[in-house]
Amino acid sequence: MKDSIDFGSMEIPRLFRRLLIPTVLGMVFSAVFVITDGIFVGRGIGSDALAAVNITAPLFLINTGVALMFGVGASVVASIHLSHGKVKTARINVTQAVVVSSLLLVAYGLVICLFAPEVALLLGSSPRLLPLVLEYMYWFVPFLPFSALLSSGMFFVRLDGSPNYAMWCNAVPAVINIILDYVFIFLFDWGMFGAALATSLGYVIGAGMILAYLSRRRNVIRFCRVKMNRKSLRLTLRNVDYMCRLGLSTFLCEGAIATMMFTGNYVFIRHLGEDGVAAFSIACYFFPIIFMVYNAIGQSAQPILSYNFGAGYRLRVRSAFRLAMLTAVSFGFLFFVLTAVGSSRIVSLFLDASYPAYTLATEGLPLFASGFVFFAFNIVSICYFQSVEQSRPAMTITLLRGYLLLIVCFLVLPEFFGVRGIWLAEPVAELLAFLIVLVIFRRSGRAVPCTR
| pLDDT at residue 450 in the model | 41
Tell me the angle at which helices 314-350 and 356-369 cross, rounded to the nearest 10 degrees. 160
What b-and-e string marks burial along 367-399, b requiring 16 or more CB atoms within 10 Å of the CB?
bbbbbbbbbbbbbbbbbbbbbbbebebbbbbbb
Alpha-carbon gap, residue 177 to 30, rounded angstroms: 10
Q: Which one, of 192, 193, 180, lies nearest residue 49 by Cα? A: 192
Alpha-carbon gap, residue 379 to 246, rounded angstroms: 15
Alpha-carbon gap, residue 431 to 377, rounded angstroms: 10
Q: Could you tell me the CA-to-CA distances from 380 to 71, 162, 279, 295, 376 in Å, in that order? A: 16, 22, 29, 8, 6
Alpha-carbon gap, residue 327 to 334, rounded angstroms: 11
| pLDDT at residue 324 in the model | 93
DSSP 8-state symbol, 142:
G
Query: Which residues does 312 contact at the CB level (< 8 Å), separation at least 6?
Result: 451, 452
Alpha-carbon gap, residue 203 to 192, rounded angstroms: 17
Contact 90, 78 (CB under 8 A): yes
Q: Residue 4: how many CB atoms within 10 A of its CB?
A: 7
Alpha-carbon gap, residue 321 to 379, rounded angstroms: 12
> How many Cα atoms sit within 13 Å of 126 on the Cβ side?
17
Tell me the angle at which helices 144-159 and 191-214 cross, rounded to the nearest 10 degrees. 30
pLDDT tens string, the chain, 452 residues long: the values are 455 567 777 888 888 888 888 888 877 777 776 777 778 888 889 888 888 887 888 898 889 889 989 998 898 899 889 888 899 999 999 999 999 999 999 999 999 999 999 999 988 888 889 999 999 999 999 999 999 999 999 889 988 988 889 889 988 998 898 899 999 999 999 999 999 999 999 999 999 999 999 999 889 999 998 777 788 888 889 989 989 888 887 788 878 888 888 888 888 888 888 888 888 888 887 777 788 889 889 888 888 888 888 888 888 889 999 999 999 999 999 999 999 998 889 888 888 888 888 888 899 999 999 999 999 999 999 989 888 878 788 888 989 988 999 999 999 999 889 889 999 999 999 999 999 999 988 887 544 444 34
| Phi, then psi, of 448 in degrees rounded to 5 | -140, 130
| Distance separating the N- and C-terminal Cα atoms of the chain | 33
Query: Which residues does 98 contact at the CB level (< 8 Å), separation at least 6?
Result: 70, 149, 152, 153, 214, 223
Q: Which one, of 329, 303, 313, 330, lies nearest residue 15 by Cα? A: 303
Q: What is the pTM of this model?
A: 0.75
Residue type, 212: A
| pLDDT at residue 292 in the model | 81
| pLDDT at residue 102 in the model | 95
DSSP 8-state symbol, 400:
I
Instruction: State the DSSP string of 198-240.
Output: HHHHHHHHHHHHHHHHHT-TTSSS-------SHHHHHHHHHHH
Phi-psi category of residue 445: left, alpha or beta, with phi > 0 → left and psi -120 to 50 → alpha: left
SS3 string, 323-375, reads: HHHHHHHHHHHHHHHHHHHHHHHHHHHHCCCCCHHHHHHHHHHHHHHCCHHHH
Alpha-carbon gap, residue 173 to 279, rounded angstroms: 27
| pLDDT at residue 449 in the model | 41
* Residue 313 three-state SS: coil
Residue type, 292: M
Contact 142, 108 (CB under 8 A): no
Contact 153, 164 (CB under 8 A): no
Alpha-carbon gap, residue 321 to 309, rounded angstroms: 11
> How many Cα atoms sit within 13 Å of 132 on the Cβ side?
21
Alpha-carbon gap, residue 175 to 193, rounded angstroms: 19
